[in-house]
Amino acid sequence: MEKFTQDVVEIIKSIPEGKVSTYGTIALMAGHSNGARQVTRIIHSMSRKHNLPWHRIINAKGLISLPKSCGYEEQKARLQDEGVLFDAKDRIDLKQYLWTGAD
């Protein structure tokens, strides 16, 4: 496994319950500021194998990226079960819930 991939897997595993991170934040933490799409690929291909809390990763706008009926509802329900709140536009307040590894 490449170092970037290993780092991304470990970072995702570190996201605490009730917090979220973004694809770009994870890429930046792993040393590649432009690696958000690679993070998406890693989540898609390795979540089951490494038991990753994939549902804690959202986009930089505070929204779930998965389309409705394609995992969106499951991701939202998992986050709500962890106490993450959504506003009327289904957005998560990143000021409140964003995990950057520093907290």
Q: Domain residues of the chain, as ranges?
A: 3-97
> Which one, of 103, 21, 26, lies nearest residue 62 by Cα?
21
- pTM for the structure as a whole: 0.94
pLDDT tens-place string over residues 29-86: 999 999 999 999 999 999 999 999 999 999 999 999 999 999 999 999 999 999 999 9
Question: Does pLDDT of 102 surpass 80?
Answer: no
d(CA 19, CA 10): 16
CB-based contact 48:55 (threshold 8 Å): no
Q: Which residue has the tokens 């973004």?
A: 22
* Residue 101 confidence (pLDDT): 86
Question: Does pLDDT of 103 surpass 70?
Answer: no
CA angle 70, 14, 99 (to 5 degrees): 75
CATH of domain 3-97: 1.10.10.10
Average pLDDT over residues 80-94: 98
